[in-house]
Structure 1
Amino acid sequence: MADAGNRHPQCGQRRNARVIMRELRVYLAGQWQSGAHVALLPAQFNYLKNVLRLSDGERITVFNGANRVAEGVVTFEKRTGQVTLGEIFERSVESPLSTHLIQAMGKGEKMDWVVQKAVELGVTRITPITTQRSVVELKGERADKRHSRFIDITISACEQSGRNFIPTIDPITPLAQALTLSASAELKWILHPQVTATQTHAPAAAPQSAAVLIGPEGGFTEAELAAAGDAGFTPITLGPRVLRTETAPIVALTALQLRFGDFIPR
């Protein structure tokens, strides 16, 4: 009698199924050469060897944050590891629209989430800011640690999402200084729930760069709104509902990509 498992679709699928893992990607900074041996950082070594249980000779994809990619072969010692690089090539999945997110710091892990999702959506630069109504004010060592955490989140998001370019993550910056960082942006939005203009009033000609300014939970002061206007930012709303400070940047970046970036049907 034939094996009943082979006749049953589900059983057959289980028996013949192959475990397909998504591409394993690791960020390795530097200017590479084919055949070079690049050392893994301790955290990378631990993740690849002790978490994923990779063995010597297994292959991974590495990228250097400047759109250079290579296939690499891993080898491990007791406490260290390295990647031997194969052919190196250029591969960019960046949007034609360069986007700069200027985002007021939120409470708890809200800003971590914003950084992660903004990177997945193709943001080019993120500037965390403090404003007069900010509920989070970090200085000195605490601000430096948070900045380092944002960079780590950015790298992880690039590894996961397939980006080979690492966005710029600025230190926590006062609003007045942040406004000067977006001087060259062709399109500038400041989100404000008490205006009537929506994103449909954006220019018909596609800009190559855009900046989005998002305030804290308590909103911007009148003086801050005036300063943003003087810097060329147009107040807009993204619809009739009031969005949380961690929701607004995701909606705004998505709207920009849909209108001017790589979400446009081609």
Structure 2
Amino acid sequence: MSVPRFYVEAALAPGARIVLPEAVARHALGALRLKPGAAVMLFNGDGGEYAGVLEAKGKAAWVECRERQAPQRESPLEIWLAQGISAGERMDYTIQKAVELGVAGIVPLAMRRSVVKLDAERAEKRRRHWQGIAVSACEQSGRNRVPEVRPLVGFTSWLAEAKSEDATRFLLDPEGGSRLAELARPGGRVWLLAGPEGGFDPAEAELARLAGFRPLRLGPRILRTETAALAAMAAMQAVWGDF
């Protein structure tokens, strides 16, 4: 059985006594039914993890940190996913699995064919929710660096910034484009652009191409929005990464 891992926003060091936040303590003592003396692992996103021992009294729990470890579990590919937002669990699933597959960061995009429409307040609430999903995926997958989920941004605003970066850019296009096996391994950052449920508006797809996004085709079948980017990332890890 693997050692339970918990993310905490605290300075960690050997010998430190870390009081677990209420939600984390509730998960450890309630959902996981851990007992005092159980071995656990803490991480805070700095790239390391700290073995420790769980202690508890009532509903409160804390961890006595021991040695620091720094296993290498980050992908050698710096893949950033720009994802047209989708409804409900579809977007949650995309973020969770992208983190498991090694994504470096995620930018949710408001696009013309996005079914979900969010005002500023709801968008920030969703961003916090998505960031929490990223944290949970790191706890499960063993990653010690938490990918950033950036604030929701309009497609054209994001594209204006992305096209000026020194990066390799791919646009997922079910109707044509290169196959991954035909391409050389990129160096540096990779942008992967995926559309929402309704796909790309033709004008958006053309703007992306003009901004240097190369169409990439994932076989002859049309994939759903929650599948396309994940299939592309898995293929990239197999061809160029650490699979």
* TM, length-normalised to structure 1: 0.85
Report the number of matched residues.
242
Q: Does 1:236 align with 2:216?
A: yes
| RMSD between aligned residues | 1.7
**Aligned CA distance change for structure 1 residues 205 and 219 (closer, same or farther; 3 Å):** closer
Quote the residue 2:100 is aligned against. Answer: 120
The 5-angstrom pairing of residues 28-43 of structure 1 reads: 28-43=8-23
**SS state of the match for residue 45, structure 1?**
helix
Partners of 1:182 and 1:211 within 8 A in 2 = no
> AA paired with 2:199?
G
Partners of 2:74 and 2:143 within 8 A in 1 = yes
**SS state of the match for residue 171, structure 1?**
coil
Partners of 1:128 and 1:171 within 8 A in 2 = yes
Greater shift in the superposed pair: 101-110 or 188-197: 188-197
The 2-side partners of 1:196 and 1:205 are apart by 17
Partners of 2:20 and 2:62 within 8 A in 1 = yes
Quote the residue 1:197 is aligned against. Answer: 178
The 5-angstrom pairing of residues 41-56 of structure 1 reads: 41-56=21-36
Query: Alignment partner for residue 55 of structure 2, among 75, 81, 88?
Result: 75
Quote the residue 1:186 is aligned against. Answer: 167
Quote the residue 2:41 is aligned against. Answer: 61
Partners of 1:49 and 1:55 within 8 A in 2 = yes
Deviations 1:161-204 (A, max 9, x none): 111110111121111232224743532110112224322332x2
The 2-side partners of 1:23 and 1:83 are apart by 13
> AA paired with 2:216?
I
Q: Does 1:104 align with 2:84?
A: yes
* TM, length-normalised to structure 2: 0.93
**SS state of the match for residue 227, structure 1?**
helix
Percent same amino acid among aligned pairs? 39
The 1-side partners of 2:197 and 2:171 are apart by 14
The 1-side partners of 2:170 and 2:178 are apart by 11
Quote the residue 1:248 is aligned against. Answer: 228
Query: Alignment partner for residue 109 of structure 2, among 115, 124, 129?
Result: 129
**Aligned CA distance change for structure 1 residues 131 and 206 (closer, same or farther; 3 Å):** closer
In structure 2, runs of 5+ residues without a counterpart are none
Greater shift in the superposed pair: 214-223 or 102-111: 214-223
